[in-house]
Amino acid sequence: KQEVTQIPAALSVPEGENLVLNCSFTDSAIYNLQWFRQDPGKGLTSLLLIQSSQREQTSGRLNASLDKSSGRSTLYIAASQPGDSATYLCANHQTGANNLFFGTGTRLTVIP
Protein backbone atom coordinates (compact mmCIF):
# COMPACT_ATOMS: atom_id res chain seq x y z
CA LYS A 1 0.00 0.00 0.00
CA GLN A 2 1.26 3.44 -0.95
CA GLU A 3 2.66 5.49 1.92
CA VAL A 4 3.54 9.14 1.47
CA THR A 5 5.73 10.98 3.96
CA GLN A 6 6.56 14.67 4.15
CA ILE A 7 9.53 16.12 5.95
CA PRO A 8 9.73 18.36 7.85
CA ALA A 9 6.34 18.38 9.56
CA ALA A 10 6.75 22.07 10.32
CA LEU A 11 9.10 24.74 9.07
CA SER A 12 9.61 28.35 10.07
CA VAL A 13 11.74 30.68 7.95
CA PRO A 14 12.36 34.42 7.71
CA GLU A 15 10.88 36.27 4.77
CA GLY A 16 12.99 36.20 1.62
CA GLU A 17 14.56 32.79 2.16
CA ASN A 18 14.46 30.04 -0.42
CA LEU A 19 13.20 26.75 0.95
CA VAL A 20 12.61 23.12 -0.01
CA LEU A 21 9.81 20.85 1.11
CA ASN A 22 10.28 17.11 0.76
CA CYS A 23 7.89 14.32 -0.13
CA SER A 24 8.71 10.62 -0.35
CA PHE A 25 6.57 7.68 -1.37
CA THR A 26 6.97 3.93 -1.14
CA ASP A 27 5.53 2.76 -4.48
CA SER A 28 7.05 4.36 -7.58
CA ALA A 29 4.28 3.11 -9.89
CA ILE A 30 2.42 6.41 -10.11
CA TYR A 31 0.61 8.34 -12.82
CA ASN A 32 1.36 11.73 -11.34
CA LEU A 33 2.15 13.71 -8.22
CA GLN A 34 0.33 16.84 -7.16
CA TRP A 35 1.28 19.55 -4.67
CA PHE A 36 -1.49 21.38 -2.81
CA ARG A 37 -1.67 24.27 -0.44
CA GLN A 38 -4.16 24.39 2.44
CA ASP A 39 -4.76 27.55 4.43
CA PRO A 40 -6.22 27.17 7.95
CA GLY A 41 -9.90 26.29 7.78
CA LYS A 42 -9.87 26.32 4.00
CA GLY A 43 -9.90 23.87 1.12
CA LEU A 44 -7.07 22.53 -1.00
CA THR A 45 -5.60 24.66 -3.75
CA SER A 46 -3.65 22.83 -6.43
CA LEU A 47 -0.19 24.31 -6.96
CA LEU A 48 1.57 22.00 -9.39
CA LEU A 49 0.88 18.69 -11.12
CA ILE A 50 3.76 16.56 -12.40
CA GLN A 51 2.99 13.65 -14.69
CA SER A 52 5.10 10.51 -14.25
CA SER A 53 6.93 11.20 -17.52
CA GLN A 54 7.99 14.68 -16.36
CA ARG A 55 10.89 15.66 -14.13
CA GLU A 56 9.69 19.07 -12.97
CA GLN A 57 7.06 21.76 -13.22
CA THR A 58 7.31 25.46 -12.52
CA SER A 59 4.78 28.12 -11.64
CA GLY A 60 6.03 31.54 -10.63
CA ARG A 61 8.22 31.18 -7.53
CA LEU A 62 7.36 27.50 -7.19
CA ASN A 63 9.25 24.60 -8.72
CA ALA A 64 8.36 20.96 -8.14
CA SER A 65 10.58 18.06 -9.11
CA LEU A 66 9.84 14.36 -9.36
CA ASP A 67 12.24 11.42 -9.17
CA LYS A 68 10.03 8.39 -9.58
CA SER A 69 12.77 5.81 -9.28
CA SER A 70 13.81 7.03 -5.86
CA GLY A 71 10.26 7.79 -4.75
CA ARG A 72 10.87 11.46 -4.08
CA SER A 73 9.47 14.86 -4.93
CA THR A 74 10.52 18.31 -3.77
CA LEU A 75 8.74 21.65 -3.78
CA TYR A 76 11.09 24.60 -4.02
CA ILE A 77 9.78 28.02 -2.99
CA ALA A 78 11.93 30.97 -3.96
CA ALA A 79 12.03 34.26 -2.09
CA SER A 80 9.43 33.22 0.47
CA GLN A 81 6.75 35.71 1.56
CA PRO A 82 4.46 35.80 4.62
CA GLY A 83 1.57 35.00 2.29
CA ASP A 84 3.20 31.62 1.60
CA SER A 85 2.40 30.55 5.17
CA ALA A 86 0.14 27.51 4.90
CA THR A 87 0.21 23.71 5.03
CA TYR A 88 1.65 22.10 1.91
CA LEU A 89 0.46 18.63 0.93
CA CYS A 90 1.83 16.28 -1.66
CA ALA A 91 -0.29 13.48 -3.08
CA ASN A 92 0.16 10.91 -5.80
CA HIS A 93 -2.15 8.93 -8.01
CA GLN A 94 -0.90 5.37 -7.94
CA THR A 95 -1.11 3.24 -11.07
CA GLY A 96 -4.05 0.87 -10.78
CA ALA A 97 -5.63 2.86 -7.98
CA ASN A 98 -8.47 5.32 -8.40
CA ASN A 99 -7.62 7.95 -5.81
CA LEU A 100 -4.92 10.19 -4.41
CA PHE A 101 -2.65 9.09 -1.59
CA PHE A 102 -1.81 12.06 0.59
CA GLY A 103 1.24 12.90 2.63
CA THR A 104 1.10 14.13 6.18
CA GLY A 105 1.79 17.73 5.21
CA THR A 106 4.38 20.41 6.05
CA ARG A 107 3.18 23.45 7.95
CA LEU A 108 5.15 26.45 6.71
CA THR A 109 5.42 29.75 8.55
CA VAL A 110 7.20 32.66 6.88
CA ILE A 111 8.15 35.33 9.40
CA PRO A 112 8.03 38.96 8.22
Partner 1 sequence: DTAVSQTPKYLVTQMGNDKSIKCEQNLGHDTMYWYKQDSKKFLKIMFSYNNKELIINETVPNRFSPKSPDKAHLNLHINSLELGDSAVYFCASSPLGGRRGYTFGSGTRLTVV
Closest by CA position to 112, among listed 11, 14, 3, 12: 14
Question: How many Å apart are CA 72 and CA 14, to the nearest integer?
Answer: 26
For partner 1, the binding residue among 14, 41, 83, 112 (CB under 8 A) is 41
The least CB distance from residue 25 to partner 1, in Å, is 15
Count of beta carbons in the 10 Å neighbourhood of residue 51: 12
Sheet arrangement for strand 56-59: 4-7, 19-25, 72-77, 62-67, 56-59
Which residue in 22, 32, 54, 74 binds partner 1 (CB under 8 A)?
32
17 vs 39, beta carbon nearer partner 1: 39
Q: Is residue 61 a contact point for partner 1 (CB under 8 A)? A: no
The binding site for partner 1 (CB under 8 A) comprises 31-32, 34, 36, 38, 41-46, 49, 87, 89, 91, 93, 98-100, 102, 104-105
